[in-house]
Amino acid sequence: MSDGRVIVAFAGCDYLGLSQDPQVIDALRSGLDDYGVGAGASRSTTGTCREHIELERELSLFLGAPDAVLLSDGTLANLAVAEALFPSSDDTTIAVERDAHPSLRLALRGRRIVSFDHHAAPPATVDWIVTDGVYPSVGKRAPIADWLARGHRVWVDDAHGFGVLGDRGRGVLETFGLEPNDRLIVSGTLSKAAGTHGGFVAGTADLASAIRRTSPYVTATPPPPALARASRVALSRIAEGSLRRRLNDNSERMRRGLESLGIPTPGDAFPVFAWAESSADATSRIQRRLLDADFLVPCIRYPGGPDSAYLRLAVSALHEPSDIDALIEALGRTRIP
């Protein structure tokens, strides 16, 4: 803080704390020494280097996909999938889950879409369903396996599940025992659990080939090679598992603490807890009181969250158990009228 206070943040999406990980930082530094700051060109010209290619290979192996493509960020990854799957002249009707990330709706602009709530069955006549893998504001997984069983094809943006969910951190697909295939596509970002930067798409070799012909791939400069190297180390840290186990322990500790205060928590295990108080004013007041107590818990309105302003509390592997206990104590005080 500008006033010199040290604030403990329960915010953001750096779930595993990898943006601060010494091994990831060392990889970035060595990459800067070897490659400089930027890629210098698009991937269709001279912007691809060994680090990009190796990261794609390691992503595909990690996710159990035939192939994976690295793009500049998660939004461009979604734009690339939409361009590859649904040409603007295509009259395919696409079912988009109501709480899907805005970048998915941006990617599908101009296409024929219908919205549906994941609590209800999607239209039976729709071939493709587009959804977030996990709704981060409420910590609920999309019922992907049910949709596949109904005969739909599914495109999952697993930005929040990647690196966090599943026994090996492969994301929401792993929790259902699934891997990317010709009926199941996954896009995501390295800017959350991996703590770095870049987007990706994982699926069949044919899909990857189509992605590499899209405008977001052909015309955009990729993530800097140094960041690609850092992402490779981050991926190995995710696979190792110790940070995810620490995150799960912290999430469970937070869940128990919130429930002791009568605050509802999601049924699915996820390191984000969101709730609204009795009014928007009450929610904002608690946020201010927590900040006065040196805790940052954002008060926001965002697609997929409660209808009014709500508190979004995010847990990280970097948090100490004492941080969580102190927050719960402060939250108990601030909720007293």
Cα 125 from chain centre: 29
**Residue of 125, 132, 175, 117 lying closest to 151 (CA atoms):** 125
Structure tokens, 204:
């069949």
Give the burial class of 5: count Cβ atoms within 10 A of its Cβ; 0-12 exposed, 13-18 middle, 19 or more buried. exposed
Q: Which CATH class is domain 8-18+242-334?
A: alpha beta
Whole-structure pTM value: 0.93
The structural architecture, per CATH, of the domain 22-240 is 3-Layer(aba) Sandwich (3.40)
Give the span between the Cα atoms of 276 and 34, in whole angstroms.
Answer: 48
Q: Which amino acid is at 216?
A: P
Say whether 22-240 and 8-18+242-334 share the same fold.
no
pLDDT in tens, the chain (337 residues): 557 789 999 999 999 999 999 999 999 999 999 999 999 999 999 999 999 999 999 999 999 999 999 999 999 999 999 999 998 767 889 999 998 999 999 999 989 999 998 888 888 899 999 999 998 777 789 999 999 999 999 999 999 999 999 999 999 999 999 999 999 999 999 999 999 999 999 999 999 999 999 999 999 999 999 999 999 999 999 999 999 999 999 999 999 999 999 998 877 779 999 998 888 889 999 999 999 999 999 998 765 555 578 899 999 999 999 999 999 999 999 887 6
Domain map of the chain by residue range? 8-18+242-334, 22-240
Q: How many residues does the chain have?
A: 337
